[in-house]
Structure 1
Amino acid sequence: MAQTDALYDALSGRENLKFYGLMKGIAKRDLNAEVDYVAKVVDLTADLDKRVAGYSGGMMRRLSLAIALMGKPDLLILDEPTVGIDPALRRQIWAELSRIRDEGRSILITTHVMDEAELCDRVALLLDGKVMAFDTPATLERQYQVATIEAVFLKAEGAE
């Protein structure tokens, strides 16, 4: 899932999902069930048959995330997956990401939302393209003697 949404705005959400599903090699017989499942995860079921041109920015992000989730990839790479998404839906998405992790699949997430970094198994904090810290959130917080990953970042970069 790229930072910029790569969607066909002349198509509906459902048509985008089906197109990308076929591109990912999902069998036609499984496509409708896969579309229904990912649409439910990102709360787009009611809007699937609307043209993407009429979607809000948040809806487009959710559709992009749904596309990324399709086909059960072994590795998900998600750039800022919950930007513009309300707190209740963010919680639902993180529950799905936890389920995916528990299945043994890997997820690489970039985020500026430090409370989301707390939900990850391991965190790499980057500054000017260099890794300034890498470990579990709890270990980093102990190392830097702070209570949050945001505080780790601030202390590691010398802002505190």
Structure 2
Amino acid sequence: MSNMLTKQEMIDRILHLLHKTSMYDSEYERVATLPFEEGYIGDLSPVVRVGEQDYELAMYERGVQMLSKRTKDTDEVIFWILEDTIHTIAHIKLLQKYKVDNVNTHLKYTKDEIQEMTDMIHESFLQIGGQYEEWHKAGKRKELESPNPGRNTGKGTERS
């Protein structure tokens, strides 16, 4: 388990990891920092609240809190934000490539477009490597976003 970090220390680590990817661009840094902002409750986006002894992972849908989990594992928090940030950047890059804005013009989300986005995401985690790549391959994001009240997330990842 990692030691508790401040919001800024976590943001710095996330940005350092994003720098390892070919998709990094400073214009996307806001995607990684927004979940840590006081009062932020984006729609189906990660929210992180840093407490004195643990972190709260939260998610809202249309202003209603849909997820609230606590963890002491800094790496879980960093991974969760990395996953969401990389997915968001890959989606933005696809919108730019196909010159659509998803307001007036839309992606068709064809099999090829979805595969292209998936490839960008996998490549980014390959470039980051280590446990974050392993967690990405293992689908840990789904675990983090699933409410399972009996699990103590403070112990890190349990492997079978």
Q: TM-score, normalised by structure 1?
A: 0.33
Q: Which has the higher contact order (CA 8 A, sep 6+)?
A: 2
User: Which has the higher Rg, Structure 1 or Structure 2?
Assistant: 1
Q: TM-score, normalised by structure 2?
A: 0.33
